[in-house]
A and B are shown apart, each in its own frame.
Chain A
Amino acid sequence: MTSTAGYNFAYLDENTKRMIRRALLKAVAIPGHQVPFGSREMPLPYGWGTGGIQVTASIIGPDDTLKVIDQGADDTTNAVSIRRFFARVAGVATTERTSEASIIQTRHRIPETPLREGQILVYQVPMPEPLFRLEPRVTETKRMHALADYGLMHVKLYEDIARHGHIAISYNYPVMVNGRYLMAPSPIPAFDNPKMDRMPALQLFGAGREKRIYAVPPYTPVRSLDFEDHPFVPIRADAACALCGSRESYLDEVVTDDRGGRIFVCSDTDYCRERQAARRRDAAE
């Protein structure tokens, strides 16, 4: 173990944490509204989760248990690094089990295991503005949010249906939070969108490079945008997980050889492992 002497608890200084907590409180008070904050330099590049790390650093305490996932997996480089980082600078317990974590920092997924009250889900967000591809002027997107003028977002959905026959957004699918603010759910698959709706856990979103924080408090309605005659449909690969057999979870496609062989496995490694263990228990009984 190298020394952490000279570092404050959870890396950030207390003034920075206070500033971020104030932004978080504001974000919770106005669900879905993007609150600017003074994003700090972190010991990893923007786009690697600096927003999520700053949020986590500001809310984590010595008694917390942290889980970090990247694309649903606990064992990817990014997830492992962030988990190690907090183990070292905050000395907190870490876990790979969703049910045991009090804070889950995530990139690109919501765990399959339903979250409960008291848990906090921290999303790493590359681009917080859901309208940025449609309206390049930031002043104008701010005004659109202020006035809830969201016709343009539906224009994008209309264009998708006109071109492709369906809404061709498979991740970062825009949602309305509490019937008021249009929000980018970060690049999670549209499959995960329904899990955000009235989730018992607190959801916090941090965008480091864009210097924005937003939040969805527990039990807040979150609705995926759609048309009456083209309703939102969460899509997953039509297959069962090759390891645990799940037909409900979100699947990753894995190429197994260079002859076109491939299998589908759960993207959520903890969920898959739990199911495999349960199966073995059932088989042993």
Chain B
Amino acid sequence: MNWAIRTEGLAKSFTLHLQGGARIPVLQGVELAVAPGECVALSGPSGAGKSTLMRCLYGNYGAGAGRILLQHHGVEIDLAKADPRLVREVRHETLGYVSQFLRVIPRVPTLDIVAEPLVARGMAREVARERAAALLARLNLPAPLHALPPATFSGGEQQRVNLARGFAPGYPVLLLDEPTASLDAGNRAVVISLIEEAKAAGAAIIGIFHDAEVRDRVADRLFELHPLQGAA
């Protein structure tokens, strides 16, 4: 199979030193491969490790065992072993992540938060701002808000800023963690079309969608995760 991101025997457990060294296994033997243009929805009950897998794929959590292979500039790399500088580069160029909550940077205007990853990829600041403004408008965030830092925005508004930031660069691999959780029907439809456009452009997408309607619209298949037995 032609894949954009793939895991081999991925495992993750947490050792809680502050709780007497309790070891909590969360993932084991995860074998997931996603092709360009494909959208895979992670499924499974709460506690099955869906968010943990997403964070491992982004490098936010270190992989306990196994490999996370990624096509980066046409070269296969193992994100599980990559040094921090390579992970940063991959996040700039190849791998996008829309988390559930926006990590607000104080005093930075919304427009610049969205434009920043574009600038980091070498786009001229003005061009990046135009593209960011267009995307924010599409997500129904009125222009007067673009100049404000999103700290005081509602949950739904922040989520849309987050989505614009994640979709703007057109990453070859995109991770979506509950992208429509706090959105109304109109904005959900916008997100669905953004996902469809990204797929059409060849992006490999892995998502957690609790909203069954959205999931059924965008996911090509489900990837089932099961809670591990023997958790301490």
A–B proximity contact (CB within 8 A): no
Residues on A close to B: CB < 8 A? none
Residues on B close to A: CB < 8 A? none
